[in-house]
Amino acid sequence: MPIIWDPNRRLINIETKTSTYQMKIDEYNNLIHTHYGGKIGDSDMSSEIVYLDRGFSGNPYEAGKKDRTYSLDYLPQEYSCFGTGDFRITGLHVKEANGSKVCSLHYKNHYVCKGLYSIKGLPRIHGNADDDNYETLFVEMTDEVSGLDVTLIYSVIYDLDIIGRSARLRNNGNELLTIEKAASMNLDIPYGNWQWIRYIGRHAMERNIVRSDIYHGVQSVGSVRGTSSHHYQPFSIICKKETNETAGECYGFSFVYSGEHITEIEKDQTGSTRVILGIHPDNFCWRLEQEAELELPQVLLSYSNEGFGKLSRNNHRCINRNIVRGKRSKERRPVLINNWEATYFDFTGEKLIEIAKLAHEMGIELFVMDDGWFGNRNDDNCGLGDWTANEEKLGCSLKELGKKINDIGMEFGIWVEPEMVSENSELYENHPDWVVKTPGRNPNLARNQLVIDFANPEVCDYIIKSLSDILSNAPISYVKWDMNRSICDKHGNSLDADRQGEFSHRYVLGLYRVLETLTTNFEDVLFEGCSGGGGRYDAGMMYYTPQIWLSDNTDPINRLSIQYGSGFGYPVSTMGSHVSASPNHQTGRQTPLNTRTTVAMAGSFGYELDITKLSMEEKQQIKKDIYTFKEYYELIQKGDYYRLSSLEDKCTAWAMVNNDKSEALISVVYHDVEANQLPTHISVPGLDNNIEYNIIYIDHEEIPVHRLSGMALLNGGLSILPSNIEYDSYMIHLVKR
């Protein structure tokens, strides 16, 4: 059983395969965090807390009279509250009706349930309830004065060293409580010097890695853009200075939430590190009426003492097994072709059919019609909101076009952007009060479009109905759900003035309800997320959309770092990745087709270029590549992912290894070319020491196959052939002899 209660020492241990998480209820009924890290057996780690009178660190009233060393100002806590003597950053800020902002939580009770916890209206880890791997701990805390009850929830995935942390607030008092900040988790790490790895970026250049020491003071990253954003990921890692891919301690924090978030870190006066993660408080203020509840989104906490590689693989497995859902996510995903970079807005039905026919001949299985198929949408200034096909442009109805694509032998998919509206649309004309804007002010425009108010249930019902009509009336088996701007001017027309601070979270809850309804009612449709590429690439969206267009940047060399950064928290199966034209439309860079393919294959694979303009040789190559992709699909999408290089290296290399380690696929991409090249030598982990592998360069029959054992590949390493073609790449198949 992963959760163990020791009533004599009042200790709760959460055991996972290689970690222990421990908390203790102390003599004052405070819930003290005593350990999170490697295994500790049945030791009580509270013995290692050093109690000292630190001066200016006050004492709770009940302790202070007899013990001036007991202070919430330095004690490691499970969940921190503002106002009662903990002067660090705190997770919970509550205002009572009398204006008091002080809250003090004490332990009341706890219990354990089999299975994983289901959070009303929010994405979360799921698993079979009878599986012994899963168990959930509920710790009930209360603030006796205000009547606020907080249940801390820990859903354990034993085999993956993952704990899904969340909390539920309930007002059991007699008056209104206003929640001004409510973090989903707090982790105090009392000892050690740590580093923080976070993923920062901008549109089309997402998830660049920043690694730096955690210094004294407060550091934070977050988003107030209405979405998780291109700019700061809701996934980050705390690690030791010496931690690398294969060794050392690290903790992962992945927020299963797609809205505004903040990760805050403070190193305090005693050198202790506190991490807080939750909904961003800047635009958050929640009225918790008597007997009302507020469920907070989940954070996936993971631990590895074998470096980042293992941490990533556990997160990948968790997302593939315990986050993504639905029939289509489990089946082999179709190889798709999207017309965006092929035509942009400038297409006709005839042109699409021409592309589809050729694509089908090459082995592509799904045709996706991107933006521009509806209303008067011929550029990005107008047309959003009226989801009626432009039959003049298509030359037929949506249904007929879908049928034509099906007749070719392909599935048919469409692009939509349901959260947006243009001013010159019928939807806006009929419902100007449905857009997000503040009374008396003109709203901010972005791409000349306005946001529809998903915090309003009536709007969500309308969107469900209008999309259901489209999906029921045409043979559509794929939807690309886009969202192309940040949200400001936050004000919901359906909310009272004193509930405006609930807008951003209610927007996300509305979005989740719409997605839940549509994905449930249309289980044969594959939904792909998108927000100008990777602006809403998070574990929350993955619960509804098993793949997400990773970035609007399709340059394979830029993509290497975007995919590299994304891979720390998320599996390749979630990364929408396409082969596009050369020179690339975003960077102008010219790259060989094999490299564009190698990079796109490390994702949910597809094409996004005008294939009718390719040479015969290129078309033949693509046909061959698609065959190769299908052959290696299981290995690429379901294998274990190993990073074999760092960003500083002259090439990027990674490997996928299958379950029984009988096969692996290594991909290597050169960033540059130089004269008189030195060999690239890489160590390949993750294989079976005792297996002899044939080493086969795919598509390079001229390179002789040779053989090495798993042990030799790890300890001796593999020399990759140099190339004098700029940005060349190789895919190398290792297969058990």
List active site positions.
538, 618
Integer Cα distance of 438 and 490 in angstroms: 7
Of 90 and 547, nearer to ligand GLA (C-beta) is: 547
Q: Which of 173, 383, 532, 540 binds ligand GLA (CB under 6 A)?
A: 532
- Residue 533 near ligand GLA by CB under 6 A: yes
Residue 540 C-beta: closest distance to ligand GLA, Å: 18
Binding track, positions 602-621, relative to ligand GLA; x by CB under 6 A? --------------------
Binding track, positions 542-571, relative to ligand GLA; x by CB under 6 A? -------x--x-------------------
Integer Cα distance of 27 and 566 in angstroms: 44
**Among 92-100, 468-476, 527-535, 704-712, the segment contacting ligand GLA (CB under 6 A):** 527-535
Phi/psi of residue 718, nearest 5 degrees: -120, 130
Q: Which of 482, 625, 640, 728 binds ligand GLA (CB under 6 A)?
A: 482
Integer Cα distance of 77 and 190 in angstroms: 10
> CA dihedral defined by 170, 178, 218, 296, rounded to 10 degrees?
30
Give the residues across from 626 on adjacent strands. Answer: none
Of 91 and 532, nearer to ligand GLA (C-beta) is: 532
Give the residues across from 668 on adjacent strands. Answer: 653, 730
- Residue 375 near ligand GLA by CB under 6 A: no
Residue 533 C-beta: closest distance to ligand GLA, Å: 5
Q: Among positive and negative, which fits the CA dihedral 556, 562, 565, 567?
A: negative
How many residues at the interface with ligand GLA, by CB under 6 A? 12
Instruction: Answer whether 405's CB lies under 8 Å from 355's CB.
Output: no
- List, in order, residues 6 or more apart from 568 with CB less than 8 Å away: 197, 199, 209, 235, 237, 252, 308, 311, 312, 315
- Residue 478 near ligand GLA by CB under 6 A: no
Of 257 and 415, nearer to ligand GLA (C-beta) is: 415
Phi/psi of residue 401, nearest 5 degrees: -65, -45
For the chain, what is the largest distance between any 2 Cα atoms, rounded to a whole number of angstroms? 87
Q: Structure tokens of 622?
A: 């693509």
Q: Give the DSSP letter string of 537-602.
A: -SHHHHTT-SEEE--S---HHHHHHHHHHHTTTS-GGGEEEEEE-SS-TTT-----HHHHHHHHHS
Residue 293 C-beta: closest distance to ligand GLA, Å: 36
Of 370 and 386, nearer to ligand GLA (C-beta) is: 370
Instruction: Answer whether 240's CB lies under 8 Å from 192's CB.
Output: yes
Residue 1 C-beta: closest distance to ligand GLA, Å: 46
Q: Which of 194, 308, 415, 481 binds ligand GLA (CB under 6 A)?
A: 415
Q: Name the closest residue to ligand GLA (Cβ).
A: 371
Of 285 and 416, nearer to ligand GLA (C-beta) is: 416
Q: Structure tokens of 368?
A: 């996706």
- Residue 370 near ligand GLA by CB under 6 A: yes
Classify residue 217 as exposed, middle or buried by CB count within 10 Å of its CB (0-12, 13-18, 19+).
exposed
- List, in order, residues 6 or more apart from 721 with CB less than 8 Å away: 679, 697, 703, 730
Residue 689 C-beta: closest distance to ligand GLA, Å: 44
Which residue in this structure is represented by tokens 């078309």?
619
Residue 362 C-beta: closest distance to ligand GLA, Å: 21
Integer Cα distance of 300 and 308 in angstroms: 15
Q: Which of 15, 371, 538, 728 binds ligand GLA (CB under 6 A)?
A: 371
Of 519 and 554, nearer to ligand GLA (C-beta) is: 554
Q: Which of 139, 177, 460, 530 binds ligand GLA (CB under 6 A)?
A: 530
Q: Which of 484, 519, 561, 658 binds ligand GLA (CB under 6 A)?
A: 484
- Residue 380 near ligand GLA by CB under 6 A: yes
Site residues (vs ligand GLA, CB under 6 A): 340, 370-371, 380, 415, 482, 484, 530, 532-533, 549, 552
